[in-house]
Structure 1
Amino acid sequence: MTLNIDIWSDIACPWCFIGKRRFEKALDGFGAKDQVSVTWHSYQLDPTLPERSELSEHEYLEQAKGMPANQVAAMLAHVTEVARGEGLSYDFDSLVPANSMKAHQLLHAVKQAGLDVDAVKEALLSAHFEKGEAISDEEVLVRIGTDNGLTEDAARAALVSDELNAAVRADIDQASAIGVSGVPFFVFEGKYGVSGAQDSSVFTQVLEQVWEEIKPATPSFITIPGTENAPACGPEGC
């Protein structure tokens, strides 16, 4: 028996990295962890973003969201502090605003190859939020792909693949169809949705609740009166 979890997430989403950590913490403490299957799905918060923006993250948020500079600074400081509490070292001063489509195509290539999608997702999020690398840069993506089992040719091909581009868009369309309007978004067993980077305790509660629902019930027998003392054998003998 498997508990299936689908996660929609964007590499350019700071709460998605935080949510990943919190979900992992809950999953690590879950007794049936080995029977959980996680499928990552693509999502783009801003598909109109240039492949690589010349703006800083602060400038991008000011222009794209129409937020005043002091509000942006306060928001990023808050997110940085929350991320630090999850063991993450966000560096918004070095972050490069970049379109995430190619990175998502790389993830789909890794999935098709049967490799570790979670490891690549982790590497992409870290590159973007902690290392100041452009997640649209071909050499960055090829390095991450080859570090995680793809050949260089396969990694480069993934970045220009119409098939993988369509797969990313299919994920986004599916998200729209089920009403996802923000990420991270978690779906348990195809019917229980959890939105946002919830506290680990929330994920623990949902894991346990859904597991109890889907696991087979333990058979309950009623002993017929008068049959309790019939001869029988057991571990101690007959």
Structure 2
Amino acid sequence: MTLFTPSSPDKLRVDIWSDIACPWCYVGKRRFEAALANFPQRDQVKVVWHSFELDPSAPSERGQSMRAILAGKYGGGEARAQHMLDTMTQTAAGEGLEYHFEKLQPTNTSQAHGLIHLAAERGLQDAMKERLLAAFFTEGEFLGDREVLARLGAEVGLDAAEVREALESGQYAQAVRQDEAQAHALGISGVPFFVLGGKYGVSGAQSPEVLRGALEQVWAETHPAPLTLLGEGTPAEACEDGQCAVPGRDTAVTRG
């Protein structure tokens, strides 16, 4: 299985696995954007988003609140769960994000990931990813509803009818599964996960400084700087293009 499509030599490709229902993934997106903003070669970076479902078995219909889900998963009651949510909300605020867990509606994210694949084919992948994250964590939109997804798709420039048709037919379900199979092959078990240049991985919502350092390291390795010539401007004999200058002669001798 081919994990990555090579990009052009002058580009640095960054593949990012994340889930729409992952609060750290939205934080990680902001931190990566901050790192990229201060990266001198930012215009040569190509970002590709990949699907990852933290809970592929999650129901599509409306269910428990996030607080109830956390209380059941980690124990300690809803008071402990609320403390976890408050801490995450404060962390997100530090990145300029507004989380409203009291409005959040947990659901299966498979169809939303399919919508991102459709948007990628129209050159709108990052805009769609951003819109879905904001809709889920800030606005409390229910992403298990195809009509909601069609409306959100239209907001970033997609055709709502095309979104409905793609979701109803499951057109991108296989693409979502392929992304998740790639993650498994790479040993990715948590998100966000960044793969730089097809060979270096960064796990988690690292700081902008760490992410920028990774960008700089991979860029330096994959795009070596040209040699700096010392003593340039000082005449000196040399052989070039099959010819050697011979001292004391006006012409060059061609070496056969």
1:188 to 183, 191, 196: 196
Q: Paired residue for 1:69?
A: 78
Structure with max Cα Rg? 2
> Is the aligned partner of 1:136 residue 2:144?
yes
Q: CA deviation at 1:65?
A: 4.5
Q: Name the SS of the counterpart of 1:198 in structure 2.
A: coil
Aligned residue among 177, 186, 191 for 1:178: 186
State the shift of 1:213 in Å.
Answer: 1.1
Query: SS of 1:93's equivalent?
Result: coil
Q: What corresponds to 2:246 in structure 1?
A: none
Q: Secondary structure at the match of 1:45?
A: coil
Contact 1:60–1:97 (CA under 8 A) maintained in structure 2: no
- Amino acid corresponding to residue 11 of structure 1 in structure 2: I
Q: How does 1:101-140 map to 2 (within 5 A)?
A: 101-112=110-121, 114-140=122-148
Task: Name the aligned partner's letter for residue 86 of structure 2.
Answer: A
**SS in structure 2 at match of 1:159:** helix
Separation of aligned partners in 2, 1:224 and 1:60: 68
For 1:74, what is the secondary structure of its paired residue? helix
Moved more, 213-222 or 158-167: 213-222
**Counterpart of 1:33?**
42
* Overall identity of the aligned pairs, in %: 47
Distance in 2, Cα, partners of 1:6 & 1:183? 12
TM-score for the superposition, normalised by structure 1 = 0.90
Gaps of 5+ in 2: 1-9, 238-256
Deviates more, 1:119-128 or 1:71-80: 71-80
Instruction: Please report how far the alpha carbon of residue 18 of structure 1 lies from its aligned counterpart in structure 2 after TM superposition.
Output: 0.3
Q: Does 1:99 align with 2:103?
A: no
Query: CA contact under 8 A between 2:63 and 2:107: conserved in structure 1?
Result: no
Structure 2 residue 23 is matched with structure 1 residue 14: yes
Q: 1:160, CA displacement in angstroms?
A: 2.3
Question: Structure 1: 5+ residue runs without aligned partners?
Answer: 230-238
TM (normalized to structure 2)?
A: 0.84
Structure 2 Cα separation of the partners of residues 22 and 51 of structure 1: 30
Structure 2 residue 55 is the aligned partner of structure 1 residue 46: yes
**Aligned positions, number:** 228
Once residues 79 and 164 of structure 2 are traced to their aligned partners in structure 1, the CA distance between those partners, rounded to angstroms, is 40
Please state whether the residue corresponding to 2:172 is helix, strand or coil: helix
**Offset at residue 73 of structure 1 (A):** 1.4
What amino acid sits opposite 1:110 in the alignment?
Answer: A
Per chain length, whose mean CA-contact separation is higher, i.e. which structure has more relative contact order (CA < 8 Å, sep 6+)? 1
Are the aligned partners of 1:61 and 1:67 in contact in 2 as well (CA < 8 Å)? no
- How far 1:221 sits from its partner (Å)? 3.9
